[in-house]
């Protein structure tokens, strides 16, 4: 039987457990399961890893619980702005978008950039013009702003700008043995206008290379991009011969004296091995192997 798998994350953060209600926990778990089910539906039918990661992330972008698409964080001016990337492990092609405001599903634009644009990375109004030329669905800024995120922006305008980095990401292995990785984010609460995250930076927040692994990262972008976190996992697997779980854990901790901040990642290889690594007490995460029932977790003391 051919192998296939999908694994996702929806953010790594250090939070107080009492701040997360049982109702919120249930909603997070249900959201993760829905995203995994969407990706699984693609893989079970023999679809590509690219299609699977897009399907999973689209579900999370459309879920106001997660910081990507609708429900994304608001910047210092109270606006949403999104970054996303996708990478094909088969041929190392990638597409990235940054600081986009009107595209309903940023991950779809990232894929269109990869497949139909002569550039790898498009930002701001240029990216939106390209989205329009490709017939992608656009929405007014008000579509993305939820009451919860608006309240958070008002309450934490000055002192909470480092929080809310619950980026979403997915990695998948299809029945042809190909890997793909994708990441999408609404950025940090009250970030400066024009700030880009690690998510669209190939090698920082997103990376895939078939013989080795696919990786998607989450956490404080400024730290992740300086550590080139996703590529570090790949390098440890390729050059140091580390197993996927060990490589993932080492990538998160190896520069901890210099890179102080929340970090997390999910990785997957062609042997259907899944690894999660994070330095926070919470990372929303889950996976499914071969179409089996999804396993999801939130807290650091949960083992899946």
Classify 51 as helix, strand or coil: helix
Residues taking part in catalysis: 167
Assess contact for 188 and 156: CB atoms under 8 A. Answer: no
**Exposed (0-12), middle (13-18) or buried (19+): which is 243, by Cβ within 10 Å?**
middle
Give the model confidence (pLDDT) of 134-155 as tens digits: 999 999 999 999 988 888 887 7
1 or 117, higher pLDDT? 117
Whether 274 is in a domain gets the answer: yes
Whether 128 is in a domain gets the answer: yes
pLDDT of residue 148: 86
32 marked as binding residue: no
280 or 162, higher pLDDT? 280
Whether 297 is in a domain gets the answer: no
pLDDT of residue 193: 94
Whether 298 is in a domain gets the answer: no
Strand order of the β-sheet with 263-268 is 206-209, 213-219, 263-268, 274-278
Residue 134: how many CA atoms within 13 Å on its side-chain side? 18
What range does the domain containing 146 cover?
Answer: 5-288
Whether 300 is in a domain gets the answer: no
Number of domains in the chain: 1
| Closest-CA residue to 167 (of 230, 238, 76, 123) | 230
142 marked as binding residue: no
CATH (domain of 271): 3.60.20.30
Regarding beta strands 82-88 and 295-299, do their DSSP bridges make them parallel or antiparallel, or are they unpaired? unpaired
| pLDDT at 57 exceeding the cut of 80 | yes
Whether 14 is in a domain gets the answer: yes
Whether 87 is in a domain gets the answer: yes
d(CA 268, CA 38): 18
| pLDDT at 157 exceeding the cut of 70 | no
Q: What's the Cα-to-Cα distance from 73 to each of 35, 76, 142, 209, 212, rounded to whole Å?
A: 20, 10, 13, 31, 33
Give the model confidence (pLDDT) of 103-143 as tens digits: 999 999 999 999 999 999 999 999 999 999 999 999 999 99
pLDDT of residue 151: 84
Model confidence band, residue 162 (pLDDT cutoffs 50, 70, 90): very low
**Is the overall model pTM greater than 0.85, yes or no?**
yes
246 marked as binding residue: no
**Exposed (0-12), middle (13-18) or buried (19+): which is 175, by Cβ within 10 Å?**
middle
135 marked as binding residue: no
Neighbours of 180 (CB within 10 A): 29
């Amino acid at each position: 039987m051919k192998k296939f798998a999908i694994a996702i994350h929806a953010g790594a953060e250090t939070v107080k457990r009492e701040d997360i209600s049982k109702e919120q926990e249930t909603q997070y778990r249900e959201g993760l399961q829905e995203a995994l089910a969407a990706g699984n539906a693609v893989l079970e039918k023999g679809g590509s890893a690219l299609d699977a990661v897009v399907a999973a992330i689209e579900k999370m972008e459309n879920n106001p619980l997660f910081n990507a698409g609708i429900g994304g964080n608001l910047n210092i001016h109270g606006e949403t702005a999104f970054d996303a990337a996708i990478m094909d492990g088969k041929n190392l092609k990638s597409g990235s978008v940054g600081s986009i405001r009107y595209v309903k599903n940023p991950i779809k634009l990232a894929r269109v950039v990869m497949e139909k644009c002569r550039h790898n990375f498009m930002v701001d109004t240029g990216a939106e013009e390209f989205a329009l030329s490709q017939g992608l669905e656009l929405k007014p800024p008000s579509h993305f702003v939820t009451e919860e995120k608006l309240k958070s922006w008002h309450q934490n305008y000055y002192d909470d700008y480092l929080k809310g980095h619950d980026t979403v990401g997915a990695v998948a292995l299809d029945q042809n043995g190909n890997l793909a990785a994708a990441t999408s984010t609404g950025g940090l609460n009250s970030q400066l206008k024009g700030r880009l995250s690690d998510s669209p930076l190939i090698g920082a927040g997103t990376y895939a290379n078939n013989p080795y692994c696919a990786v998607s990262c989450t956490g404080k972008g400024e730290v992740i991009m300086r550590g080139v976190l996703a590529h570090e996992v790949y390098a440890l697997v390729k050059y140091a011969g580390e197993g996927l779980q060990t490589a993932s854990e080492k990538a998160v901790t190896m520069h901890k004296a210099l890179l102080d901040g929340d970090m997390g990642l999910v990785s997957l290889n062609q042997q259907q091995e899944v690894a999660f690594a994070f330095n926070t007490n919470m990372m929303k995460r889950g996976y499914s192997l071969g179409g089996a029932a999804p396993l999801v977790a939130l807290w650091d003391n949960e083992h899946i």
